[in-house]
Amino acid sequence: MAGSYRDRRGYVFAAGDRILRAVSPAAAGVQRELLASPVFARLVSSGQLIGTWVAPDEASALGIEGAALLLEHERVPFVSYPYEWPFAALRAAALLQLDLHLALLEHGFSLADASAYNIQFRGPEPVFIDVLSVERYVPGAYWNGHRQFCDQFLSPLLLTARLGVPYNAAYRGRIEGISSTELVPLLRLRDKIRPQTFLHLVLPARLEAAARRGRVDARPPAARRPLPKPALVRLLAGLRRWIERLHPPSRQTDWTAYARDNTYQEAERSAKRELVARAVRAAAPRAVLDLGCNTGDYAAVALEAGAGHVVGAEADPETAHLAFVRAQQEKLRFLPTVQDAANPSPSQGWRDAERASFAERARFDFLVALAVEHHLAIGRNIPLDELVRWMVGLAPQGVVEFVQKTDSTVRRMLALREDIFADYTEENFRQLLAANARIVESRVVSGEGRVIFLYDRRP
Amino acid sequence: MSRLIAVTLLALLLSSPAYAYLDPGTGSMLVQGLLAALAVASAAVAAFWTRIRQLFSGRRKPADPENRDAPPS
């Protein structure tokens, strides 16, 4: 499977609907020990570690050579990447990484790396998926994943928390996170001299620079002064306490405050809610995509109406953060992701195949696209015919909302620019939709004439 | 002493960072080396204090304080 080539002790592959992992003879012993350990059962039942068992198959029957152990994993509902996670999600993933490391250390295990790509989400709950990262703890050993943890969790979080810059675009471009040598020069002096920032980012960046000039050098593992286990535990626990308190620098970090301030047009909302609930109940979808999910009002409606899980796509990182916090607080099986529909996640990494594009991962049964079409058609100049075809392609059934050109939102969008959207009419939208799917129902849901279409493109 | 630390900190903060790729872990390994040295030093200080206390209280404790932090084997 893409991205699993780095660790030579095994690899992951899909066989039909199943996710299997071949483990090399070198790592099989530790893996068997882990599976038999009480900490493994505890971490799986608490949802922190992905369900893992020894596959009933013979490795040779699947054409696998050299594997000493074949493991099978539970599937996650949707694969997402750290550059798509809102702040609260990356923070939750960082805390899971540290909690898992601390729990494993108590039982004589450790983690070989600290890659954010080893974590996936079930709703807003992070789960660690790479059991091959678990290794035996060697007394006195250093934390090899420290640098990776800083690049893939800490620095991106600080970029947002200290400087107010969303990390998602930089993270997507870099793929391996944001290095401390890049972040440190951006930090202000008052941030640099905070003890934790100094210890984890400033000092390593400086020492690395000194090592490059040949002034100092790290010793090979055998020649190192051993790091006592309590010192390692303190290091991890200190990071945990720190990261838990990091927040984006916004006044509105609580979605409830946001919801309270946006309660206008209640009648319109309840009409929309009723329609979405009815459509979702009829379709009984397993996977729903909420395009332009905002803080997740309709995701919550879809879940209440029986949807299996909802993935949200929201262009604004701060709004996605609020949606994520809401999903955590209300325990919704809803994962809001930062995704710009006009520039969705590409396939990238080694041979363009390491991280799958959004389109490759978009396997949804139902689409909710409310109050979003005009942001793309008018805000981003996406031709209406392409937009309708793309949206209908995201899921076989769904609800899409059309916003009239006379709507106050669209009028505001066009206030400072020329209206080049002659074909932007409800009639044209209806025709384009009918060309791509069957229109099951259409209904005016607002005083300004917004229309919701319920479509079905199944034969 | 405190002046020396202040000058060192300032030097660390003000010199320009390196962008060149060296070894992904060098900085992290060196910091953990410092922490390891610090752990050894603090254990020595703790042991020293225990001895002083024992000297004044005139009693000997059975546990060896230097082994408190040893990981279980």
Q: What is residue A270's predicted lDDT score, i.e. its pLDDT? A: 87
HSE-CB at A410 with a 13 A cutoff on CA atoms is: 22
The CA-based angle A436-A442-A447, given to 5 degrees, is 130
Whether residue A193 and residue B9 make contact (CB cut-off 8 A), yes or no, is: yes
pTM > 0.80 = yes
Mutation site, B5, B10, B35, interface A, largest A CB count within 10 A: B35
Is residue A429 very low, low, confident or very high in pLDDT (cuts 50, 70, 90)? very high
- B35 is written with which tokens? 């922490």
**pLDDT band at residue B12 using 50, 70 and 90 as cut-offs:** very low
List all residues of chain A from 110 to 139 with a beta carbon under 8 Å from chain B: 137, 139
How far apart CA A338 and CA A236 sit, in angstroms, is 28
Quick: pLDDT tens for A384-394. 999 999 999 99
Class of residue A8 by CB neighbours under 10 A (exposed 0-12, middle 13-18, buried 19+): exposed
Cβ–Cβ below 8 Å for A228 and B39: yes
Q: How far apart are CA A147 and CA A250, in angstroms?
A: 28
Q: Taking CB atoms and an 8 Å cutoff, what residues of chain B touch A108? A: 72
- The confidence score (pLDDT) of residue A222 equals 81
Contacts with A225 from chain B: Cβ below 8 Å = 33, 36-37, 40
Structure letter (DSSP) for residue B71: P
Residue range A152-173, pLDDT digits in tens: 999 999 999 999 999 999 999 9
With CB atoms and an 8 Å threshold, state whether A228 touches B25: no
B13 and A147: CB-CB below 8 Å? no
- Cβ contact, residue pair B27, A180, below 8 Å: yes
pLDDT exceeds 70 at position A240: yes
Residue B8: predicted pLDDT: 46
Nearest 5 degrees, angle CA A292-CA A429-CA A372? 10
Q: Say yes or no to pLDDT of A351 above 70.
A: yes
| ipTM of the complex in this document | 0.81
What pLDDT does B18 receive?
34
- Tell me which residues of chain B have a C-beta less than 8 Å from any C-beta of chain A: 9, 12-13, 15-20, 22-40, 43, 69-73
**Residue A345 pLDDT:** 98
Mean pLDDT (chain A) is 92
Indicate the pLDDT class of residue B60, thresholds 50, 70 and 90: low
Q: Which of A77-86, A210-219, A241-250 is predicted least confidently?
A: A210-219
* End-to-end alpha carbon distance in chain B: 40
A206 touches chain B (CB under 8 A): yes
- Which whole number is the average pLDDT over A120-147? 95
8 Å CB contact of B16 and A205: no
Q: Residue B30 is nearest to which of A148, A189, A218, comparing CB atoms?
A: A218
A207 at interface of B, judged by CB pairs closer than 8 A: yes
The two three-digit tokens of residue A77, written as one number: 């509902």
Q: For residue A150, list chain B residues with Cβ-Cβ distance below 8 A.
A: 28
